[in-house]
Amino acid sequence: MAAIAKQKTRTRGTKRDMEGYGFILPGVIYMILVVGYPIVYNFILSFKDTNVQNLAKGTSVFIGFQNYKELFSNPTFLLILKNTFIFTLGSLVFQFTIGYLLALFFYKKFTLAGPIRGLMLIPYMMPMAVTGLLGQNLFLQDGLINKILSWFGAGPLPWLTSTATAMVAVVIMNCWVGIPFNMLLLISGLSNVPEDVYEASAIDGASKMQQFFLITLPLMKDAILAVLMLGFIYTFRAFDLMFIMTSGGPLNSTDVLGTYSYTLSFTQYQFSKGSAVAIVLFLCLMVIGILYLVLIVKGEKDE
């Protein structure tokens, strides 16, 4: 009897597993067709010499790592790779810091905290194309930013036409979008910190600063890590903001991997080189994703 019952339990478990596989199968097929196939095709394309002349004829030849060698020996590509990291890290520092301070402020319950917090989410909900057009108008020679600076006697700055200020303008607009996103996620992380821990530490004589560094930050470690990793991924693959505000200029000073891949593929019609740039972008993000998973697993083991 025990063997029969055990067999029935195993059969029910197998049936549940098959039902679960049936539910996830459409998602797996969708990911393979819509995500997996383009990545594989792009990867293969990056090892060929495909341009507008041989694409239609299908006469492109396999050249191995030649596209990658040419890219990493090209000063323009190295500048663009540097721009991508500067843009990403600069945006992360400011949007996380300001987002965290706003999260600490709006987590407190006071009159109009909810409505104001909702209004601050408007930049995040706006399409990036609209944000790019808005930034382009704000940072014009006679735009609002220069008018405000003129009130303080600073004079107009060539924000979008100078290599010294164009990246600053793009980072400011990206932070304008990213700060509400960081604030929202960090407020969720703050809500998971038990209030009784603060009360117990206050009884023991802990100051607000000690509570922040010894309680708030450690207990929000997972939320902070998630915000930083998501912020890095979203920012590193940016395209539309730079494409609309500056088109990567002046002199490639705001060009990033996304815009450079587009330029090579659809402006210069060097499809294989554009694919190689896209693969470099993909590999950078994959490394960050793997690092995030390693940190998550390590954190779970430490607990």
DSSP secondary structure letters along 76-100: HHHHHHHHHHHHHHHHHHHHHHHHH
Q: Are residues 280 and 221 in the same domain?
A: yes
pLDDT digits 0-9 by tens, 215-272? 888 888 888 888 999 899 999 989 999 999 998 888 899 999 999 999 999 898 899 9
Q: Are residues 33 and 169 in the same domain?
A: no
CA distance 86 to 266: 25
Rounded to two decimals, the pTM is 0.87
The length of the chain in residues reads 303
In a domain, 51, yes or no: no
Q: Are residues 80 and 163 in the same domain?
A: yes
Q: Are residues 80 and 20 in the same domain?
A: no
Listed residue (7, 222, 195) closest to 107, CA to CA: 195
Q: Two tokens at 139?
A: 């940072």
Contact by Cβ (8 Å): 197, 219: yes
Provide DSSP, 128-175.
HHHHHHHHHHHTSTTSHHHHHHHHTT-----TTT-TTTHHHHHHHHHH
Q: What phi, psi does 48 have (nearest 5°)?
A: -115, 175
Q: Are residues 184 and 243 in the same domain?
A: yes
CA distance 128 to 130: 5
155: left (phi over 0), alpha (psi -120 to 50) or beta: left
Instruction: Report the CATH number at residue 147.
Output: 1.10.3720.10
In a domain, 198, yes or no: yes
Q: What is the span of the domain harbouring residue 215? A: 75-302
In a domain, 68, yes or no: no
pLDDT at 84: 95
CA distance 203 to 199: 6
Q: Two tokens at 140?
A: 């014009």
Q: Are residues 87 and 10 in the same domain?
A: no
Averaged over successive runs of 10 residues, the pLDDT of the chain (303 residues) comes to 57 72 86 88 90 78 91 94 95 93 83 78 87 91 89 85 92 92 87 81 81 83 88 91 90 93 91 93 91 80 64
Return the bridge partners of 48, or none. 62
